[in-house]
Chains A and B, each alone.
Chain A
Amino acid sequence: MIAILKNRHVRDTSFQAGFVGALIILIVALVVTGKSNLEAQGLTSGFDFLERSTGWRISFSLIDYTTSSPYWLALVVGLLNSVFLGAISLSFATFIGVAVGVMRTSGNGMAELIGTTFVEIFRNVPLILQLLFWYSLLLSLPSPRDAEPILGAFAFTGRGIYIPGLNITGLSFFLIVLALVAGASVSLWLSTADRFKAASVAVRRKWKFYAWIVTAIVVIATIWWGRLPETAFFSIPEHRGLNYREGIRVSPELFACIIAISIYGAAYIAEIIRSGFNAIPAGQGEAGHALGLSRWQIFTRIRLPLAIRIVMPTLINQYVWLFKATTIGIAISFTDFFMVVSTAINQSGQTLELIAILMGGFLVINYSIAWVLNRVNDAIKLKGTQLRI
């Protein structure tokens, strides 16, 4: 008996079996208890409820949704809203973050001071506090009746921000975004993939030019095809009576989320970018100087590309983390994925199934963000002996 216990192989196997087995038993026990508890309340388990109609409204939706739409459509609406918010705020966060990061490493004392203040203020205050602050600020804007349009096209009111837009269907808007993303990826692929390394720069530039032409044609065609009949091509907000008509209304909830997440994310991204710039060997910039390049050329051609490549892995983690932060929208009832799921739990009581959907949704989104960005990183990272840092 003792000989068996001392056998390393037997011991290892039983440890592993015990660990995994205990976990499985725990999960099964939780699910069984949950099922019996829910059945005691007269709820049936299973995913049939997804076909039932919801009966509640969603304040912001990119696709057609009514109170008689089924649960699965509500979940799709929430998911799209989350992705929409994430895409917008992550792009803004990147722009602001890179700008601030560059300011902090520019060598100009004033710019560094401003950049440091920005980062320290917005990184050290919780996101939810910033979100509520921006939201209350937006709500305290003048009512539509009193708000004067700025430049004749933008109106900042307490009931939302009105901006000019195109009179096109939501579907064609999606297709346009898709086409632009595809165009950008193809051009990135053409300039970085090993497959095209043999072709000369001029040839690759020509291909990229064609790719953008095709994208432009597709975009214009989609706009034409998606036009709403019998409306003006541009839709510009107009003051009519007590409210604004036409144009695109950005709700205060969405706008507050965008501002808060962009600025909070920018503070973090700025720090990452700064560390990237600091990691570039000084000799790189000095060599550019010796070759007679201007400060702007050294920055755009040497330091920025190197910095982006250095910080890419950290940035990927930051993007995933920021996307998760978009769930904070529930604090001001922005209907993102999490909010829809929690409303659905309240309304239908299908707790376990909906929690599983929630977790599955976030796993899929986060793994796809990480996967796509890792592929980008693999494509653009410095290879072999290009530069040792």
Chain B
Amino acid sequence: MSISNSVSHDGMRTSMFGAIRKKYFATRTDIIVSSVLAVAVVWLLVNVIDWAFVNAVFGAGKREECLAAEGACWSVIASRWRIVLFGLYPFEEQWRSGVACLIMVIVAVLSCVPYFWNAKRLTVLWLSGFGIFYVLMRGGFLGLTPVFEQNWGGLALTVFIFAAVCILGMPLAIVFALLRRSELPWISRTMGLIIDTIRSLPLLTIMFTFAIVSPFVLPDWAIGDKLYRVIVGYAIFFACYQAEIIRGGIQALPAGQEEAAKALGMGYWHRVGYIVLPQAFRNALPPTINQIVITFKETSLVTIIGFFDVMASGRAASGNAEWSFAHVEVYFFVALIFFVFVFSLSRYGAYLERRLGVGRR
């Protein structure tokens, strides 16, 4: 039955009606399932739209109207969005924080352009972008008032931690992967033990160890700021996961590639730099993007160990007595920020996977 129904009625030309019919109402079971689900979806959509738009209150500072209205109170976002995005950053200087975030977003978008897909250009792009970000945020010259890391917050802090972890973690991951793959048994075994141990620990415990515990075991000169300790810990964690991804990419290479390089008399660094790693990264691109997506999402964990990232500043925005009833709206807003970044990155990853045709060379 399903086969006869899936042929469209007007022969070769598939009309829109036929396509819908084939997709949603192919068999009797499909008709029932589709109708029931459609009713549920419509009911849900109507309720959500009612809440989010029809009965909602827009515009800044309308607390009283919010309390009276049944729908969402977007007024809290209009009044407190600066807290969510910039945290404790001084009010007059918040444009700097905004511009800095924008620069990092541009850097991220630019690294999706094929022109930048080689090690040198990517390194220059990210390091210069990060440098400008840091200078803008920190200030202290060119007439910019200095703002110390303790006062950074909101989206800028999230972006800073994320970018720093990627910049530190990626080279570390390459080193880890090469050590893990070393022909010398003791080096590869020790590295394997370290990677496996760190991978089986939750990120939260790593962050906690580096933030709270490491001051006890480090000599005084090496303690540094809590923020940088967490970044180092997160970068090591990231490197351990990324190292396994790179190793997977290396293992997928045909053995002949490296053997041919050896036969040509290339040394270790030439082989690794010109033959192995470029192809390994191509193989490992989809899981690498996936890992970067996860890293960005899990940056939000720093809120637990007391940093004022976008997650914590979102809670602070609805944390005062004035707006405490509107926490759901603020959560939606923060979720939207994350969703936009993460969703576009993961869609880009899926597109890239199709385009490169990894595994179908």
Given contact pairs A124-B343, A362-B201, A108 touches B33 in the complex (Cβ within 8 A): yes
Indicate whether B219 reaches chain A with its CB closer than 8 angstroms: yes
CA distance A338 to B208 in the complex (A): 10
Known: A136-B328, A355-B209. A114 touches B202 (CB 8 A): no
Known: A31-B217, A33-B217. A126 touches B300 (CB 8 A): yes
CB-defined contacts of B213 to chain A, threshold 8 Å = 345, 351-352, 355
Which residues of B175-224 are within 8 A (CB) of A?
Answer: 179, 184-187, 190, 197, 200-205, 208-209, 212-213, 216-219
In the assembled complex, A209 has its CB within 8 A of some CB on chain B? no
Given contacts A19-B187, A114-B41, A355-B213, contact A133 B331 (CB under 8 A): yes
B202:A320 contact, CB within 8 angstroms: no
Proximity string of chain B (67-84) to chain A, C-beta cutoff 8 Å, 1 when within and 0 when not:
000000000000000000
Give CA–CA (A345, B208) in the complex, Å.
11
Is A129 an interface residue, CB under 8 A from the partner? yes
Say which residue of B197, B327, B335 sits within 8 Å of A363 (CB atoms). B197
Known: A132-B331, A358-B205. 14 other contacts (CB 8 A): A16-B185, A16-B186, A31-B217, A33-B219, A34-B217, A107-B30, A110-B24, A110-B33, A124-B339, A126-B297, A126-B300, A129-B334, A136-B331, A320-B200
* Contact (A362, B304) CB under 8 Å given A33-B219, A124-B346: no
- The verdict on A142 contacting chain B, using a C-beta distance below 8 Å, is no
Q: 25 A–B contact pairs at CB < 8 A?
A: A15-B187, A33-B217, A109-B20, A110-B24, A110-B41, A123-B346, A124-B342, A124-B343, A128-B303, A133-B335, A136-B328, A136-B331, A137-B328, A320-B200, A324-B200, A324-B202, A324-B203, A327-B205, A338-B208, A342-B208, A359-B201, A359-B205, A362-B201, A362-B202, A366-B200
A20 at the interface (CB under 8 A from B): yes
Our count of residue pairs bridging A and B at CB distance below 8 angstroms stands at 140
How far does the Cβ of A127 sit from chain B's closest Cβ, in whole Å? 8
What is the interface size of chain A, counting residues whose CB is below 8 A from a CB of the partner?
53
Give the one of B186, B197, B315 with max A CB within 10 A: B186
- Report A-chain residues with C-beta under 8 Å of the C-beta of B184: 12, 15-16
Inter-subunit contact A328/B339 (CB<8 Å): no
B205 partner, pick from A38, A121, A362, beta carbons under 8 A: A362
Chain A interface (Cβ < 8 Å from any Cβ of B): 12, 15-17, 19-20, 23, 30-31, 33-34, 37-38, 107-111, 113-114, 120-121, 123-129, 132-133, 136-137, 295, 320, 324-325, 327-328, 330-331, 338, 342, 345, 351-352, 355, 358-359, 362-363, 366-367
- List, in ascending order, chain B residues with CB within 8 A of A34's CB: 216-217
Kindly identify which residue among A120, A132, A136, A327 contacts B343, using a CB–CB cutoff of 8 Å: A120
How far does the alpha carbon of A16 sit from the alpha carbon of B315 in the complex, in Å? 50
A327 touches B200 (CB 8 A): no
- Report the minimum CB–CB distance from B172 to chain A (whole Å): 15
Q: Say yes or no: A330-B205 contact (C-beta < 8 A), given A33-B218, A107-B26, A109-B23.
A: no
User: Who on chain B is nearest to A113 by CB?
Assistant: B41
CA–CA, A133 and B23, complex, Å: 35
Mark contacts of B289-322 with chain A using CB atoms, 8 A cut-off: 1 yes-contact digit, 0 otherwise: 0000000011011011000000100010000000
Give, as a whole number of angstroms, the nearest-CB distance from A117 to chain B: 9
Closest residue to A103 on the B side, CB-wise?
B37
* Given A16-B187, A109-B24, A129-B334, residue A37 in contact with residue B301 (CB < 8 A): no
Bound-state CA distance A328–B304 (Å) is 9
A375 and B91 alpha carbons, distance in the complex (Å): 59
How many positions in chain B have a CB within 8 Å of any CB in the partner chain?
50
Is B38's CB within 8 Å of the partner chain A? yes
Q: How far is the CB of B27 from chain A (nearest CB, A)?
A: 8
From known contacts A136-B327, A359-B205, infer whether A108 and B34 are also in contact, taking CB-CB under 8 Å.
yes
B4 within 8 A of A: no
Q: How far is the CB of B217 from chain A (nearest CB, A)?
A: 4
Whether A362 lies near B346 (C-beta < 8 A) is: no
Pick from B216, B327, B338: contact of A352, CB below 8 A.
Answer: B216
Q: Which residues of B contact A136 (CB under 8 A)?
A: 327-328, 331
* Nearest CB in chain A to that of B44: its residue: A114
Tell me the residues in window 137-183 of chain B with beta carbons closer than 8 Å to chain A beta carbons: 179
Which of A16, A129, A338 gathers the greatest number of chain B CB atoms within 10 Å?
A129
CB neighbours of B311 from chain A (8 A) = 126, 128-129, 132
Residue of B nearest to A130 (CB): B335
Contacts of B26 in A (CB 8 A): 107-108
Write out, one digit per residue, whether chain B residues 249-287 have a CB within 8 A of any chain A CB (1) or not (0): 000000000000000000000000000000000000000
Partner of A129, one of B208, B216, B338, B343: B338
Asked whether A129 and B331 contact (CB < 8 A) given A16-B186, A38-B216, the answer is yes
For B33, what are the chain A residues with a Cβ–Cβ distance below 8 Å? 108, 110-111
CA distance A333 to B227 in the complex (A): 23
Rounded to whole Å, the gap between the CB of B359 and the closest CB of chain A is 13
A108, B24: Cβ atoms closer than 8 Å: yes
Inter-subunit contact B186/A367 (CB<8 Å): no
Q: A136 to chain B: closest CB distance in Å?
A: 5
Q: Is B118 an interface residue (CB 8 A)?
A: no
CA distance A330 to B204 in the complex (A): 10
